[in-house]
């Protein structure tokens, strides 16, 4: 019962490099989300999707892009990494809108940009 799987778990990037974070869920959830968590700050929503083929901006979308080509996968891209993007990234999915029923989070990706 995998739930939500994030890859990779750790990554170090140089400034200006690009990368893609993959989130995969096996619960047939419609709603998927990407959050970042920084010390002293709550989780902040980057982008989200309410179904296959849809994406929408969250609270802090600048510098990130996303795609939801398949229902089970939600990809987060960093086109040109900056040190300010050093963070822990969490993907979450939900079977209900507005957080009702709760989110299932992945175990996170720790990204350092040097």
Residues that bind other proteins (CB under 8 A): 31, 33, 35, 40-45, 48, 50, 56, 58-59, 90, 97-100, 102-103, 105-108
Handedness of CA 84, 87, 21, 45 (dihedral sign): negative
Helix%, strand%, coil% for the chain, nearest 5: 5, 50, 45
Give the shortest CB-48-to-other proteins separation in angstroms.
5
Instruction: Pick between residue 81 and residue 90 the one whose CB is nearest to other proteins.
Output: 90
Give the shortest CB-114-to-other proteins separation in angstroms.
21
Instruction: Pick between residue 26 and residue 59 the one whose CB is nearest to other proteins.
Output: 59
Instruction: Pick between residue 15 and residue 110 the one whose CB is nearest to other proteins.
Output: 110
Handedness of CA 67, 68, 69, 73 (dihedral sign): positive
Asked if 44 and 33 count as a contact pair (C-beta separation under 8 A), the reply is no
Strands 19-25 and 73-78: antiparallel
Give the shortest CB-109-to-other proteins separation in angstroms.
11
Give the shortest CB-78-to-other proteins separation in angstroms.
20
Spatial separation of the C-alpha atoms in residues 62 and 50, rounded to whole Å: 20
Instruction: Pick between residue 17 and residue 86 the one whose CB is nearest to other proteins.
Output: 86
């Amino acid at each position: 019962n995998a739930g939500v799987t994030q890859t990779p778990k750790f990554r170090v990037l140089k400034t200006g490099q690009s990368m893609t974070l993959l989130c995969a869920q096996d619960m047939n959830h419609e709603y998927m989300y990407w959050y970042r968590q920084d010390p002293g700050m709550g989780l902040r929503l980057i982008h989200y999707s309410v179904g296959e083929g849809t994406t929408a901006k969250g609270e802090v979308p600048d510098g990130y892009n996303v795609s939801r080509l398949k229902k089970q996968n939600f990809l987060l891209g960093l086109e040109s990494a900056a040190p300010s993007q050093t963070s822990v990234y969490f993907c979450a999915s939900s079977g209900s809108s507005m957080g009702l029923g709760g989110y299932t989070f992945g175990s996170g990706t720790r990204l350092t940009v040097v």
